[in-house]
Amino acid sequence: MKAIIRKELADHFSSTRFLIIVSLIFMISFLGAHLASQGIREALKVGGHEYLAGRVFLMIFTASGGFFPLTVFLALFGPLLGLVLGFDAINRERSQGTLSKILSQPIYRDEVILGKYLAGLITVAITLSALMILLGALGLIGAGVIPTAEEGLRLFGFWLLTMVYIGFWLGLAIVFSIIFRSVATSALASAALWIMIAFFLPVLGQAVAQVVTPAVDAQRPTYRELADRHLVNQLVAKVSPTGLYNQAAQVLLDPTNRGGSQAFQMAVSSRVNQLLLSHFRGGLSLGQSLALMTPEFLILAGFTLATFIASFLTFVRQEVRSI
């Protein structure tokens, strides 16, 4: 299996499409982090040290700074990394006639699929680590803040969460590369599912929420109606890996977040949140945040495991004649 992992890693890191996607992710992330760190520096100048204590460094990853926060950006565009690494994993070998050659060597068939999946994950791990280290360095220079140990642990948790999230898309893309003989078809299918899950499902969630919990006065919904709508929205988000990732990432990287979406917190905000913050000025501890995000993390990990098992079983059970 080591041979397959080595070959795949060499292929990934020299592939043009991978380099394009990674360059794009790095550039946009840098821009976002730069704007965020400028905003943080301004905020620190005018005070707020006490309120921001223990999460200033994390804000490099969560503050929008008038642009995408990194968490949202990775939730929407991180999947592209997994998809690019996996959509042609098997059908490319099949179409160029190298799959039967590999399988006729003294290796088990599951080593091929496992090798390809692990190589994809290693590639994602290296890319994500590099991105977070560079963004951290940019934050140190730009915002002039040093991360606390807890912030470091939260960032490691975020790294792990993102790995699981992108691992889901990688597994899904590999399933498509086994099912579809044509590389173009598996690329299209992967992209279509990505667009549906990342962009349409949240809209669908809002639509479902509005139907299930209609407001008496649509212009001025009550707090209760907003809370009900938010609950329905979150339930719909739990069938979406992107929704799960978003919820878990926000809780993990923002100690003041208690599981609600930013939009909800803003909507219900002012008084309620200020009241809460006055009670929990320091925000949640790491343990509390972890406990709060565990359900989302476990469901997401379940999705990821399911795609990997699907790719494994589909490939291992496929007749070699059709390979």
Partner 1 sequence: MSNSLAKSSDNQINTSPDFGDRVVETKGLTKKYGRETVVDRLDLVVRAGEIFGFLGPNGAGKTTTLLMLLGLSEPSGGQARVLGLDPVKSPLEVKSQVGYLPENMGFYGDLTAAENLGYVAELCHLDNFQALLADTLKLVGLGEAQDRLVSTFSRGMRQRLGLAEVLIKKPKLIFLDEPTLGLDPDGIATMLDLIERLPRQLGLTIILSSHLLHLVARVAHRVAILNRGRLLAVGSVDDLAKEVGLEPDLERIYRYYFRVDNQEGAA
Taking CB under 8 A as the criterion, the residue among 7, 17, 238, 258 binding partner 1 is 7
105 binds partner 1 (CB under 8 A): yes
Asked if 44 touches partner 1 (CB under 8 A), the answer is no
Q: Name the minimum Å distance from CB 116 to partner 1.
A: 14
Burial of 300 (0-12, 13-18, 19+ CB in 10 A): buried
Q: Residue 223 corresponds to which amino acid?
A: Y
The footprint of partner 1 on this chain (CB under 8 A) covers a number of residues equal to: 22
Backbone angles phi, psi at 282, to 5 degrees: -80, 0
CA angle 164, 206, 277 (to 5 degrees): 70
Q: How far is the CB of 106 from partner 1 (least distance, A)?
A: 4
Q: How far apart are CA 104 and CA 138, in angstroms?
A: 49
* Residue 108 phi, psi (nearest 5): -75, 155
Among 45, 46, 50, 104, binds partner 1 (CB under 8 A): 104
Residue 102 engages partner 1 in binding (rule: CB under 8 A): yes
Q: Map tokens 């080595």 to a residue.
A: 6
Closest approach of Cβ 16 to partner 1, in Å? 11
What totals of helices (H) and strands (E) does the chain contain, helices first? Answer: 15, 0
Any idea how long the chain is?
323
Interface with partner 1, residue 98, by CB under 8 A: yes
- Is residue 6 near partner 1 by the rule CB under 8 A? yes
Task: State which residue, 7 or 41, has the beta carbon closest to partner 1.
Answer: 7
- CB 188, min distance to partner 1, A: 24
Per the structure block, which two tokens stand in for 268? 């219900």
Question: Does residue 319 bind partner 1 (CB under 8 A)?
Answer: yes
Contact between 224 and 194 (Cβ < 8 Å): no
Question: Can residue 3 be called a binding residue for partner 1 (CB under 8 A)?
Answer: yes
**Residue from 45, 106, 270, 279 binding partner 1 (CB under 8 A):** 106
- Using CB under 8 A as the criterion, which residues of the chain lie in contact with partner 1 when the complex forms? 2-4, 6-7, 93, 96-108, 319-321
